[in-house]
Chain A
Amino acid sequence: MEQQQIVLELKAISKEFPGVKALNDVSLTLYQGEVLGLVGENGAGKSTLVKIINGVYTRDAGDILINGKVVEMNNPAEAIMVHKIAYVSQENTLCPDLTVAENIVLGQWTGGAAINWKQIYDFAQKALDALGLKVKPTDILADISPADRQLVEIARAVSQDSKILLLDEPTSWLTESEKKYLFDRIKHLKTNQDVGIIFISHFLDEVLKICDRIQVMREGISVGVFPAEELTKEMLIEQMLGQKKREIMYDENIADRVKEKVVLEVRGLTQEGMVDNVSFELHEGEILGITGLLGCGKTEIGRMISGSQIVDGGQILVDGEEQKKLTSKKCAKLGIGYISKDRKEEGIIPFLSITKNITLASLKSALGKFKHLSLHKEKEIAKKMIEVLDVRPRDPEREIIYLSGGNQQKAIIAKWIQADSKILVIDEPTRGIDIGAKFEIYNLLREQAKGGKAVVFISSELTEVLEVTDRFLVLRSGKVTGEYTHYEIKDEHGLLAILSV
């Protein structure tokens, strides 16, 4: 292989967020005309690294060099306009109310004060043609399909004449033929235009297919860089996971705990574009897992069975009775509690105290003599919960926003325990939570199950899916592709292999 020029180099990059070291001394080299794959589990640091390249985050330590020269990279504007770095991610960075053409030229049009629309539309059309996109430059972004929107983002990146292209999970929303287009374009870009491309994806087969070299990240460090042709999927998985320390153990005694009674049954659950004919049963005392990669539909299932999302087709039966048009209020009455993965947006009432958050779903039980809200009774309830769940700091009056993620999560779970929920639907139960609190939450859920409650445990964290759930469903593109237990899939490597198919 002839020696190509190095277009981007990262040296010893470190980045810390409060409570977690996201990147620890990470280095990376990107050559002109190559596709470098970046793989790793959730939280390994891939997105963080790429956001540092893109100026969205500022690094705590280390250097960024572009074409051999050290650069500052303090903000995305610098990345886009000065260094011509193009970045396409899962998050929506475009403006849904503007046209496709306007979105393509967003932030990079230097045509002067007066807008020459013909120029803009021609430019946009060229970019769309380069990708074989059928949408028109005058289409409003919000009106075209999510897959097309993703491709417009890529067209935008491609049109910038960049020499560095960062693709963060670009294929999650694409069909097979759309993926083929994308890979063709990527090949074209690297061969004919000498673009250096970083390709992040959970789908290891794709990574092995399209990348020249692959860099593996694990828990904030770079484990190694390997030529793609020398790797197999198993080797990749091994590098990604390393030696897993097993601290939480699978509960061997589920036969005592899990009862015959079906508390929740789902038949043919469908939601346009996201969930396709999903069926399962949840038993009393059971912890049922649902897992899968980005975009598999597991979050949507959780929302549908807890009244937070419209159901397009299928049936939901609670204790044998069909429930139509579920709302959150109905679910609360039925005893279904929902713990969203977005704690800040949907979990806590930020400036209310821990006490008030805990009693929010069961205010009727805190009524005093004159049917008024007894603050004293409330405080007693909260104090007990705080004690039992070990919420810290043990200050019932503290506003919940000042608690750490783990303690907030415990308070939210407390809310549903206090409301006497029979079914807990919890999405990403321990995301962003330190290891100590993680175990507390696992034990908490197990206690609830022992006490006759049922848990729908939606998660993308391999270890907890394997060890905390009694059995779990694997989802891909909205469909259930299999049901497994800890016995069939012995470890995280096996699970990741199944997920990354």
Chain B
Amino acid sequence: MSKLPTNTLPNESKDGFNFKKFINKFTLIIVLIIFIIIFSIMEPAFISQRNVFNIILQISILSPIAIGMTLIILTGGIDLSVGSVLSFSQAVCAGMLLGGTNMYLCVLVAIIIGLGLGLANGLMIAYLKLPPFIATLGMMSMARGFQQMYTMGSTIYNMPEKFRYLGTAYWLGVPAPIFLVIVVFIIFILIMKYTIFGRSVYAVGGNPQAARISGISVNKITVQVYTIGGLLVALAGVLQLIRLNAHESSAGMNMELDAIACVVIGGSSMSGGRGSVAMTAVGTLIYGVIINGLNIAGVSPFVQKSVIGALIIGAVTLDSLVRNRGKK
């Protein structure tokens, strides 16, 4: 008889157990606060109202993508195609807008593209049994190819006035996109906590065999998370189009890495089953705070990339150390 897990357990006493959970949840927030304090000291303007708005605006496009990525990573998968899908759906939306099409129709088409490509990812992974890395890697190239074919590499700019409303609107003195970010986060925090779908995602990621035996359709859940991911990516693309007033050929480039960074910094496990949208929210905030803070401190964008990289490694290492305490 060999496979008993007990010799790798952390302290089992009730007090010790609660303490550890407490530390895990609040470590992230403490880290966030520390960074805020550091940057505020370096540059007092950091915590001005204007800059706080700036930070949240800067992460407003990344947020929906990070949320979708969280669901996907919770099932133990990954989506490398988000940047490319964003670029293609955004390109078509922009092209149609320029051609005078009704703006709601343009947005709808973008959403359908996102849903469609997300669905394709999900089907490949669930039914063709392709590893998520491979399937979405392929989609990444395909979607980028579609975008290039559609735009011929050119920028599409000068969007209609009506369309740009959301980009510059202020509601209750707060930029509109900030409300959107908060609303989308809240919606998905609620979905993951209070719906059968959300619970099933956790079950599939935690132990797909046990989930299947309990009557959950693992394939269906898999297809659903990638499809939802595609939807959120399309929405992010539309939001970006509104804010930038242009579709650039390089739209979405490397965005998948930033999205994964937010999820990982937020502490979700890459092997699935552990993490939450709420934690990703904090992770995304930390990401935004660091980028913004380094900007204000005058640090070059190149160094910023290395800092984010170091943060990802640090976050995963910390998580791994805590998890593997006591194992050989």
Residues on A close to B: CB < 8 A?
A: 17-20, 22, 43, 48, 51, 57, 306, 308, 328-329, 331-333, 338, 340, 344-352, 356, 360-361, 363-364, 367, 372-375, 393, 395, 398, 401-402, 404-405, 415, 419, 431-432
Stretch of B153-161, B213-221, B251-259 that contacts chain A: B213-221
Instruction: Give complex CA distance A176, B25 in Å.
Output: 60
Residues in A whose Cβ lies below 8 Å from that of B310: none
Interface residues of B in 1-57 (CB under 8 A from A): 1-7, 9, 12, 14, 17
Say yes or no for B164: interface residue by CB 8 A criterion.
no
Q: Are the C-beta atoms of A373 and B209 separated by less than 8 Å?
A: no
Q: Are the C-beta atoms of A404 and B1 separated by less than 8 Å?
A: no
Residues in B whose Cβ lies below 8 Å from that of A328: 212-215
Interface residues of B in 167-217 (CB under 8 A from A): 193-196, 198-200, 202-203, 206-207, 209-217
Return the contact of A350 from the options B1, B198, B207 (Cβ within 8 A).
B207
- Shortest distance between the CB of B127 and any CB in chain A (Å): 15
Return the contact of A22 from the options B1, B9, B195 (Cβ within 8 A).
B1
Return the contact of A402 from the options B9, B200, B216, B274 (Cβ within 8 A).
B9
Q: Are the C-beta atoms of A352 and B1 separated by less than 8 Å?
A: no
Q: Are the C-beta atoms of A360 and B211 separated by less than 8 Å?
A: yes
- Shortest distance between the CB of A349 and any CB in chain B (Å): 4
Closest 9 CB pairs of A and B: A332-B215, A18-B6, A349-B206, A372-B194, A361-B214, A346-B209, A360-B214, A363-B196, A373-B194
Residues in B whose Cβ lies below 8 Å from that of A331: 215
Residues in A whose Cβ lies below 8 Å from that of B194: 372-375
Q: Are the C-beta atoms of A398 and B17 separated by less than 8 Å?
A: yes
Q: Are the C-beta atoms of B213 and A346 separated by less than 8 Å?
A: yes
Say yes or no for B293: interface residue by CB 8 A criterion.
no
- Shortest distance between the CB of A41 and any CB in chain B (Å): 12
Say yes or no for B77: interface residue by CB 8 A criterion.
no
- Shortest distance between the CB of B208 and any CB in chain A (Å): 10
Query: Could you pull out 8 A-B pairs where Cβ atoms are within 8 angstroms?
Result: A20-B4, A345-B207, A345-B209, A349-B203, A352-B206, A352-B273, A361-B214, A405-B4
Return the contact of B6 from the options A19, A329, A350, A395 (Cβ within 8 A).
A19
Return the contact of B199 from the options A57, A345, A356, A431 (Cβ within 8 A).
A356
Q: Are the C-beta atoms of B4 and A340 separated by less than 8 Å?
A: no
Q: Are the C-beta atoms of A352 and B203 separated by less than 8 Å?
A: yes
Q: Are the C-beta atoms of A346 and B215 separated by less than 8 Å?
A: no
What residue of chain B has the Cβ atom nearest to residue A370's Cβ?
Answer: B194
Residues in A whose Cβ lies below 8 Å from that of B199: 356, 360, 363, 373
Q: Are the C-beta atoms of B210 and A347 separated by less than 8 Å?
A: yes
Return the contact of A17 from the options B4, B12, B17, B214 (Cβ within 8 A).
B4
Instruction: Give complex CA distance A419, B214 in Å.
Output: 10
Q: Are the C-beta atoms of A432 and B273 separated by less than 8 Å?
A: no
Q: Are the C-beta atoms of A349 and B1 separated by less than 8 Å?
A: no
Q: Which of A306, A348, A393, A402 has the most CB of B within 10 A?
A: A402
Residues in B whose Cβ lies below 8 Å from that of A415: 214
Residues on B close to A: CB < 8 A?
A: 1-7, 9, 12, 14, 17, 193-196, 198-200, 202-203, 206-207, 209-217, 273-274
- Shortest distance between the CB of A396 and any CB in chain B (Å): 13
Residues in A whose Cβ lies below 8 Å from that of B206: 349-352
Q: Are the C-beta atoms of B195 and A17 separated by less than 8 Å?
A: no
Instruction: Give complex CA distance A395, B214 in Å.
Output: 22
Instruction: Give complex CA distance A48, B3 in Å.
Output: 12
Q: Are the C-beta atoms of A432 and B4 separated by less than 8 Å?
A: yes
Residues in A whose Cβ lies below 8 Å from that of B213: 306, 308, 328, 338, 340, 346-347
Residues in B whose Cβ lies below 8 Å from that of A333: 215
Return the contact of A432 from the options B1, B14, B203, B211 (Cβ within 8 A).
B1
Return the contact of B215 from the options A361, A373, A401 (Cβ within 8 A).
A361
What residue of chain B has the Cβ atom nearest to residue A51's Cβ?
Answer: B2
What residue of chain A has the Cβ atom nearest to residue B195's Cβ?
Answer: A373
Return the contact of A360 from the options B6, B12, B17, B203 (Cβ within 8 A).
B203
Instruction: Give complex CA distance A315, B14 in Å.
Output: 50
Q: Are the C-beta atoms of B202 and A349 separated by less than 8 Å?
A: yes
- Shortest distance between the CB of A402 and any CB in chain B (Å): 6
Instruction: Give complex CA distance A1, B199 in Å.
Output: 69
Return the contact of B1 from the options A48, A346, A360, A419 (Cβ within 8 A).
A48
What residue of chain B has the Cβ atom nearest to residue A57's Cβ?
Answer: B2
Residues in A whose Cβ lies below 8 Å from that of B17: 398, 402
Known: A328-B213, A328-B215. A344 touches B5 (CB 8 A): yes
Residues in B whose Cβ lies below 8 Å from that of A364: 196
Residues in A whose Cβ lies below 8 Å from that of B203: 349, 352, 356, 360
Residues in A whose Cβ lies below 8 Å from that of B7: 17-18
Instruction: Give complex CA distance A352, B209 in Å.
Output: 14
Residues in B whose Cβ lies below 8 Å from that of A48: 1-2
What residue of chain B has the Cβ atom nearest to residue A401's Cβ?
Answer: B5
Instruction: Give complex CA distance A200, B150 in Å.
Output: 69
Residues in A whose Cβ lies below 8 Å from that of B215: 328-329, 331-333, 361, 419
Instruction: Give complex CA distance A395, B3 in Å.
Output: 24
Further 18 A-B residue pairs, CB within 8 A, beyond A48-B1, A346-B210, A363-B196: A19-B6, A308-B212, A328-B212, A328-B213, A338-B213, A340-B213, A349-B211, A351-B273, A356-B202, A364-B196, A373-B195, A373-B198, A393-B14, A395-B14, A402-B12, A405-B4, A419-B215, A432-B4
Instruction: Give complex CA distance A306, B209 in Å.
Output: 13
Residues in A whose Cβ lies below 8 Å from that of B195: 372-373
Residues in A whose Cβ lies below 8 Å from that of B4: 17-20, 405, 432
Instruction: Give complex CA distance A18, B216 in Å.
Output: 33
Q: Which of A43, A349, A360 has the most CB of B within 10 A?
A: A349
Instruction: Give complex CA distance A373, B6 in Å.
Output: 32
Instruction: Give complex CA distance A316, B20 in Å.
Output: 49
Instruction: Give complex CA distance A333, B215 in Å.
Output: 8
Instruction: Give complex CA distance A484, B135 in Å.
Output: 53
- Shortest distance between the CB of B298 and any CB in chain A (Å): 42
What residue of chain B has the Cβ atom nearest to residue A432's Cβ?
Answer: B1
Q: Which of B5, B213, B274 has the most CB of A within 10 A?
A: B213
Q: Are the C-beta atoms of B2 and A17 separated by less than 8 Å?
A: yes
Residues in B whose Cβ lies below 8 Å from that of A431: 1
Instruction: Give complex CA distance A22, B206 in Å.
Output: 30
Q: Are the C-beta atoms of B1 and A17 separated by less than 8 Å?
A: yes
- Shortest distance between the CB of A303 and any CB in chain B (Å): 10
Instruction: Give complex CA distance A405, B4 in Å.
Output: 8
Q: Are the C-beta atoms of B1 and A344 separated by less than 8 Å?
A: no
Residues in A whose Cβ lies below 8 Å from that of B217: 329
- Shortest distance between the CB of B93 and any CB in chain A (Å): 33
